[in-house]
């Protein structure tokens, strides 16, 4: 029997997530997880939900979570959609807005899942290179794609662009502007106001990073009700588990816990940025919970990445021409960052 994939699927390369070691003992600074635990309210909510409800399907609309998110961030319930992580919401956007030969435009380098999702739909990615300072490229304002996507703060650079630039971009794009704010709680600003004011903007959030819930897969989208209505047509029927809904609602009810952890991470981030030049790396100005740093000697960072791995410290290396001299380092605990810096001193 011969099984034939669609030609675009057969040719494409799937998204490559960061390494998840099956054994312990690693200092894990490669996938931007939060080093601190979630709010105690989350554990209590999960235990209560698991007590007698797992035999039942979840609410297909994740209404308790969406209601809590609407109250927390100042939206109507009709302006909120929930997903199995923000990756699920990105896939819903691709299904709803990208067809055969349609284009998604975004500045690059950025989150590589965007291209994977577009190619699944048979569309194409129009990537416009960021300038060296990672400001929005001028050509992005002139592109005519039906969907324009900006990760802000961006990954893997960690940099952020001002809200006024995103506002100008929303005025210029002919279709939908997606602002992917996975790391917004580590920055000084966000674009939620654009989602309230504009009919062509959707802002995505995740509880994986700042809320310490990467293992639960909880994402939120905020947009005009017409956009939310369209996304609901293409989402999986039960795209969130009962535990995810309960955990997300509980996490959003304890913003103070999240904000204290985010502040700890910001302080450690600034200490890491200050120390990296002394171990041979020039960091970019990060507004996220990770730091992208380039080797000062201009050489590939792959040997450093490999040596760190041998010492059981995981960071992220991207083997593309523009990023081959860089490492992306998640901001862990102070102790984890101390271990990283000590190892880098030994490797040099």
Q: pLDDT value at position 1?
A: 63
Phi then psi for residue 27, to 5 deg, are -85, 110
- Token pair listed for 250: 């509980």
* Percent of the chain predicted with pLDDT > 90: 91
The domain segmentation of the chain, as residue ranges, is 7-37+256-347, 40-254
Is residue 14 very low, low, confident or very high in pLDDT (cuts 50, 70, 90)? confident
CA angle 340, 259, 266 (to 5 degrees): 30
pLDDT tens-place string over residues 321-340: 999 999 999 999 999 999 99
> Is the model's pLDDT at 318 over the cut of 70?
yes
Per-chain mean pLDDT for the chain: 96
Residue 264 CB contacts under 8 Å (≥ 6 apart), including other chains: 36
Instruction: Dump pLDDT digits (tens) for 177-231.
Output: 999 999 999 999 999 999 999 999 999 999 999 999 999 999 999 999 999 999 9
For residue 6, the model assigns a pLDDT of: 78
Q: Which fold has domain 7-37+256-347?
A: 3.90.1150
Distance CA 149, CA 145 (A): 10
Positive or negative: CA dihedral 335, 343, 158, 88: negative
Check: CATH 3.30.420.40 for 40-254? no
Q: Which of 4, 209, 214, 233 is nearest to 96 (CA)?
A: 233
Sequence-distant (≥ 6) Cβ neighbours of residue 321 within 8 angstroms: none
- Pick the closest to residue 240 from 271, 204, 216 (CA basis): 216
Which phi-psi region, left, alpha or beta, contains residue 127 (left: φ > 0; alpha: ψ -120 to 50)? beta
Whether the CB-CB separation of 89 and 69 falls below 8 Å is answered with: no
Instruction: Judge whether residue 16 has pLDDT over 90.
Output: no
- Give the chain's length: 348
Taking the C-alpha atoms of residue 265 and residue 275, their distance in angstroms, rounded to an integer, is 15
pLDDT digits (tens, 9 = 90+) for 63-120: 999 999 999 999 999 999 999 999 999 999 999 999 999 999 999 999 999 999 999 9
68-102 burial, b for 16+ CB within 10 Å, e for fewer? bbbeebebeeebbbbbbbbbbbbbbbbbbbbeeeb
Q: Which two tokens stand for residue 72?
A: 């927390």
């Amino acid at each position: 029997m011969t099984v034939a994939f669609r030609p675009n699927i057969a040719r494409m390369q799937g998204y490559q997530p960061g390494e998840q070691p099956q054994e312990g003992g690693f200092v894990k600074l490669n996938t931007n997880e939060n080093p601190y635990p979630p709010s105690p309210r989350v554990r209590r909510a999960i235990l209560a939900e698991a007590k007698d409800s797992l035999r039942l399907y979840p609410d297909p609309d994740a209404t308790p979570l969406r209601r809590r998110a609407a109250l927390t961030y100042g939206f109507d319930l009709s302006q909120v959609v929930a997903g199995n992580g923000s990756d699920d919401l990105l896939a819903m956007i691709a299904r709803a807005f990208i067809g055969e030969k349609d284009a998604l435009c975004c500045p690059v380098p950025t989150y590589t899942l965007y291209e994977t999702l577009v190619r699944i739909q048979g569309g194409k990615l129009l990537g416009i290179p960021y300038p060296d300072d990672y400001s929005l490229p001028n050509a992005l304002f002139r592109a005519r794609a039906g969907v324009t996507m900006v990760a802000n703060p961006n990954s893997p650079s960690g940099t952020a662009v001002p809200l006024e630039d995103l506002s100008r971009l929303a005025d210029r794009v002919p279709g939908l502007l997606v602002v992917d704010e996975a790391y917004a709680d580590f920055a000084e600003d966000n674009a939620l106001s654009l989602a309230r004011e504009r009919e062509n903007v959707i802002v995505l959030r995740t509880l994986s990073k700042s809320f310490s819930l990467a293992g639960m897969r909880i994402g939120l989208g905020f947009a005009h009700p017409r956009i939310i209505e369209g996304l609901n047509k293409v989402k999986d029927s039960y795209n969130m588990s009962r535990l995810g809904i309960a955990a997300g609602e509980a996490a959003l009810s304890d913003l103070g816990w999240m904000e204290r952890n985010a502040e700890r991470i910001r302080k450690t981030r600034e200490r890491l940025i200050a120390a990296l030049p002394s171990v041979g790396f020039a960091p970019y100005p990060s507004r996220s919970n990770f730091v992208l740093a380039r080797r000062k000697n201009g050489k590939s960072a792959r040997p450093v990445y490999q040596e760190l791995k041998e010492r059981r410290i995981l960071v992220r290396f991207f083997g593309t021409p523009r990023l081959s001299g860089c490492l992306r380092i998640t901001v862990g605990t102070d102790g984890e960052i101390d271990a990283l810096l000590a190892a880098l001193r030994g490797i040099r």
